[in-house]
Amino acid sequence: MTVSGKTKIYGVIGDPIEHSLSPTIQNSAFQYFNLDFIFLAFNVKNEELKNFIKCTRSFGIQGLNVTMPHKENVIRYLDEIDDNARFLNSVNTIVNNKGRLFGYTTDGIGAVCALKENNVDLASSKVVLLGAGGAGRAIALSLADKVANLVILNRDLEKAKRLYIKLKQKFNRNIFGGSLSEDSIKKHLENSDVLINATNVGMKPNQTESIIDSSMLSSNLTVMDIVYNPIETKLLVDAKRIGANIINGIEMLIYQGAASFELWSGKKAPIDVMKKAAIKKILTTGEAN
């Protein structure tokens, strides 16, 4: 990669940010197309966010990914956000169009693409989604009008209820919100096609943990975990052992990154290139956030 005075700058902001996979993923795509772009990681504290976004305009940073803890707070400093970002009150991608900053969310898009690419027929599927945090909300929004039934289970019951009520009002579909308890999971999994873990249970250094007991899994399930380090969580190992179809967190990560890349470049993202770069990075370093 050659950097010059003409090189366009992109980046990811968050705190902490040192172990982000985004630079690896995005730079691999930039290099594939021989684009004169570079992607950097910027550690931005809460109190620095306003000034950093101001500098994004004045220094001509062309685009940003946004991760915790800035996905909500960054909105006040943008010129426009899309409908899904407004519904979620969350932005993970910013496009700088001649000094005007546009905010988008690609988190849910990543999950939908990962499921489709693994031959899941969304229109006929009942999906059980575990977790109603930022990632869970984005996935729920993207799936709500595409699946036959959506069940959202969360430890904070009121949070699950608020989300499913908003989604029912928006889409008028078969959506339910309940408690993330053993009994509730077991009940809803009995007739389900897809299970998605949208919590951080099973992430390193707690890779021996699983969100549910393996006895609740069945071979006719597709099990997706948004955790991508380790690449196969205990939940996925348990599901694979009994013959279930599994989708690891790298899939969602790559597809949401691909959606950002396409917003910035106008080109079709090289999925295989981005995926190979991410997996190599995780296997080489053993860590990523």
Instruction: Write out the catalytic residue numbers.
Output: 71
State the Cα–Cα distance between residues 58 and 65, nearest whole angstrom: 18
Two tokens at 19? 């172990």
- For residues 17 and 288, the answer to whether their CB atoms sit within 8 Å is no
Closest-CA residue to 218 (of 198, 189, 248, 181): 189
Q: Which residues pair with 195 in a beta bridge?
A: 128, 223
String of DSSP letters for 181-198: -HHHHHHHHTT-SEEEE-
Q: What SS3 class is residue 10?
A: strand
**Left if phi > 0, otherwise alpha if psi is -120 to 50, otherwise beta: which for 45?**
beta
Two tokens at 210? 């699983």
- For residues 115 and 222, the answer to whether their CB atoms sit within 8 Å is yes
* Residue 64, C-beta contacts closer than 8 angstroms, at least 6 positions apart: 10, 11, 12, 13, 56, 93, 94, 96
